[in-house]
Amino acid sequence: MLKVTHRLRLSQQDAHYGGNLVDGAKILALFGDVATELLISFDGDEGLFRAYEKVDFLAPLFAGDFIEVTGEMIQIGTTSRKMHFTCHKVISARLDINPSAADVLTHKILTTEAIGTCIVPKEKMRVKHE
């Protein structure tokens, strides 16, 4: 199945709560970006996000952390595309040491996992699937 990964740094602007904590809505927005790329690659159209079946927030994220956000199509219907999303922390900001310290993690930390479904209307599909 088709798979996409985005890697980025969470900035101070992403911090929403005390202690530079990033809110879960930021990660859901990034899942939407990954879904959009998957749909464009598969159907030639951005499509529409229909619903999440499951969203699990498993570990906190902070401004300065680097993350990998991945989406993979796991089921393809006539117009629906079910996707599995993950967010892993790969570099951890270490503000406790100094403002510019960070650690590359030897093991990625799964912070968020979700299953969601997107829809691409037939009339907007530019790629024909057999």
Report the 3 state secondary structure along 70-129.
EEEEEEECCCEEEEEEEEEEEEEECCCCCCCCEEEEEEEEEEEEEEEEEECCHHHCCCCC
What pLDDT does 1 receive?
65
- 10-residue block means of pLDDT along the chain (130 residues)? 92 89 95 96 92 97 96 94 98 90 96 97 77
What pLDDT does 4 receive?
95
| Calpha distance 126→33 (Å, rounded) | 19
What pLDDT does 92 receive?
94
For 25, the token pair is 């809505």
For 110, the token pair is 């799964």
* pTM of the entire predicted model: 0.92
The torsion angle over the Cα atoms of residues 27, 75, 44 and 36, rounded to 10 degrees, is 0
Q: Tell me the fold of 3-124.
A: Thiol Ester Dehydrase; Chain A (3.10.129)
Q: Which residue is listed with tokens 């927030």? A: 57
What pLDDT does 110 receive?
98
| Calpha distance 119→54 (Å, rounded) | 17
Q: Is the dihedral of CA 22, 101, 94, 60 positive or negative?
A: positive
Picking from 104, 42, 45, 44, the residue whose alpha carbon sits closest to that of residue 71 is 42
What pLDDT does 122 receive?
83
User: In the chain, where are the structural domains located?
Assistant: 3-124
| Calpha distance 38→12 (Å, rounded) | 28
What pLDDT does 64 receive?
94
What pLDDT does 87 receive?
98
